[in-house]
């Protein structure tokens, strides 16, 4: 019996197939039900008791080696066999998972789309700013309490270099570097030193708009922003302006849209008021014109700024701001249908 086992083992180890058919013959000869190895197990019954342990072990080793050999041969043959590729070229390809846009990008692009129809151009600005563009040119005097409205991340110890707290810094660049007419839209990241919660984050996104030309009026601003709101939230959307304060605009206002969830009747999203605040706006303050070298006697303009997270949350009914930054595929997958 031992010799039989050793003979089969040697044959298994030395076996060299020439093609795939021979590998199948190998399997049939040694491992199939009627093959030589199962036959050994059948004959094992007649082995004297004192030899069972040793012979049993030898048969098991043989079986294991034969299986390993078969797998190795299959692996090596599946790639090439005498120059032939053994893969099914008619099989459909593995689908490549195509990602989708982030909801914030979708809404940012939508905002850009609406304003470019009105002739606004996209303008970029740095995220690492100096005090001048983030504050001074925008009529935030040194030590003015309005600076406390925005919890700033300062980079340099002299507090001159900082992470921009709003995209209004881009209007400071635009106005000091370009000549009117200016009609620009500046989307981008902004940073504030705030505790992260469902409603606040240290990083978020804004879009800033600026329109400077001769004879630009408050009515132009109102009309532009009303058009935007209707395009963004639906034709039935109503808007209202409430007086507010921003150092760089005078007069300043905040714009509310009628709550699209309850249609203005009052619900828990609009806290029963029927209105949702979506942006800040106002006529460019003459001090900003003077600081940036534009003559306020010739030119006037309006500016507005909105948070992209806020617009997205209102549009899609998202209740927690942190979802935007977690990259949870279950959240992001829900936006695959959107452009």
> Which is nearer to ligand DAH, 58 or 312 (by Cβ)?
312
Cβ of residue 201: shortest distance to ligand DAH, in angstroms?
14
- From the list 313, 303, 197, 306, the residue with the least C-alpha distance to 251 is 303
Q: How far is the CB of 105 from ligand DAH (least distance, A)?
A: 20
Contacts of 51-59 with CB under 8 Å at 24 or more apart are: 51/1, 54/2, 55/1, 55/2, 55/5, 58/2, 58/5, 59/5
In the complex with ligand DAH, the residue whose CB is nearer, 246 or 275, is 246
Q: Which long-range contacts (CB under 8 A, 24 or more apart) does 334-337 make?
A: 335/100, 335/101, 335/102, 335/103, 335/106, 336/100
- Residue closer to ligand DAH, measured from CB, 246 or 335: 246
- Cβ proximity to ligand DAH, 100 vs 136, nearer residue: 136
Question: Nearest 5 degrees, angle CA 162-CA 164-CA 246?
Answer: 120
Q: How far is the CB of 331 from ligand DAH (least distance, A)?
A: 26
| Beta carbon of residue 99, minimum distance to ligand DAH (angstroms, whole number) | 30
Instruction: Identify which of residues 30 and 246 has a Cβ nearer to ligand DAH in the complex.
Output: 246
Distance of CA 92 to the CA centre of its chain: 30
Measured from the CB atom, is 66 or 257 closer to ligand DAH? 257
Q: Minimal CB distance to ligand DAH: which residue? A: 305
Q: For residue 310, what are its two tokens? A: 């806020």
Helix (H, G, I), strand (E, B) or coil at 246: strand
Positions that interact with ligand DAH (CB under 6 A) = 166, 168, 208, 246, 249, 280-282, 303-305
- Minimum Å gap between C-beta 258 and ligand DAH is 21
- CB of 281 vs ligand DAH, minimal distance in Å: 5
CB 293 within 8 A of CB 281: no
């Amino acid at each position: 019996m031992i010799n039989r086992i050793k003979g089969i083992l040697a044959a298994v180890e030395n076996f060299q197939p020439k093609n795939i058919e021979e590998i199948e013959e190998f399997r049939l000869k040694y491992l199939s039900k009627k093959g030589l190895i199962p036959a050994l197990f059948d004959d094992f019954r007649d082995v004297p008791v004192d030899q069972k342990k040793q012979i049993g072990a030898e048969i098991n080793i043989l079986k294991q080696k034969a299986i390993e050999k078969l797998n190795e041969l299959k692996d090596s043959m599946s790639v090439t066999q005498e120059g032939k590729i053994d893969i099914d070229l008619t099989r459909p390809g593995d689908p490549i998972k195509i990602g989708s846009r982030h909801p914030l990008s979708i809404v940012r692009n939508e905002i850009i789309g609406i304003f470019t129809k009105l002739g606004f151009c996209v303008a970029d600005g740095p995220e690492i700013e100096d005090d001048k563009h983030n504050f001074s040119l925008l009529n935030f005097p040194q030590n003015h309490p309005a600076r406390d409205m925005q919890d700033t991340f300062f980079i340099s110890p002299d507090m001159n270099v900082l992470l921009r707290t709003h995209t209004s810094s881009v209007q400071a660049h635009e106005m000091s570097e370009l000549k009117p007419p200016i009609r620009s839209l500046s989307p981008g990241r902004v940073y504030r030193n705030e505790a992260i919660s469902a409603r606040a984050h240290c990083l978020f996104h804004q879009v800033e708009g600026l329109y400077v030309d001769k004879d630009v009026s408050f009515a132009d601003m109102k009309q532009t922003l009303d058009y935007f709101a209707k395009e963004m939230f639906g034709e039935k959307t109503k808007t209202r302006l409430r007086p507010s304060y921003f150092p760089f605009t005078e007069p300043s206002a905040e714009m509310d849209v009628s709550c699209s969830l309850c249609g203005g009747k009052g619900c828990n999203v609009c806290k029963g008021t029927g209105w949702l605040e979506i942006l800040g706006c106002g006529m460019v303050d003459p001090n900003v014109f003077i600081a940036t070298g534009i003559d306020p006697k010739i030119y006037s303009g309006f500016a507005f700024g909105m948070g992209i997270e806020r617009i997205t949350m209102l549009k899609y009914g998202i209740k927690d701001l942190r979802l935007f930054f977690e990259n949870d595929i279950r959240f992001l997958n829900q936006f695959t249908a959107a452009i």
